[in-house]
Amino acid sequence: MGKPIWNLLLIPLFLTSVISVTGTPVDEQFSRLTDEQKQILIRAYELGAPYDLGYTLAAIAWQESFVGDRIVPINLQDPSAGLWHKNIYNALAEHPETPQNGLQVNMMAQKLIHDMEFAASLAISDLEHWKIRRNGNWMDIWASYNAGRYYKSSQARAYARSIYRKIQALEKALPVLLAEQKESSTLG
Q: Report the CATH number at residue 76.
A: 1.10.530
Structural domain of residue 44, as residue ranges? 25-187
Whether residue 22 has pLDDT greater than 90: no
- Residue 130: inside a domain, yes or no? yes
- Residue 17: inside a domain, yes or no? no
- Residue 132: inside a domain, yes or no? yes
How far CA 181 is from CA of 34, 37, 67, 185, in Å, comes to: 15, 14, 18, 6
Q: How many domains would you assign to the chain? A: 1
85: left (phi over 0), alpha (psi -120 to 50) or beta: left
- Residue 113: inside a domain, yes or no? yes
The pTM (predicted TM-score) of the whole model is: 0.80
- Residue 11: inside a domain, yes or no? no
- Residue 6: inside a domain, yes or no? no
- Residue 131: inside a domain, yes or no? yes
Q: Tens digits of per-residue pLDDT, 114-164?
A: 999 999 999 999 999 999 999 999 999 999 999 999 999 999 999 999 999
Give pLDDT, residue 8: 39
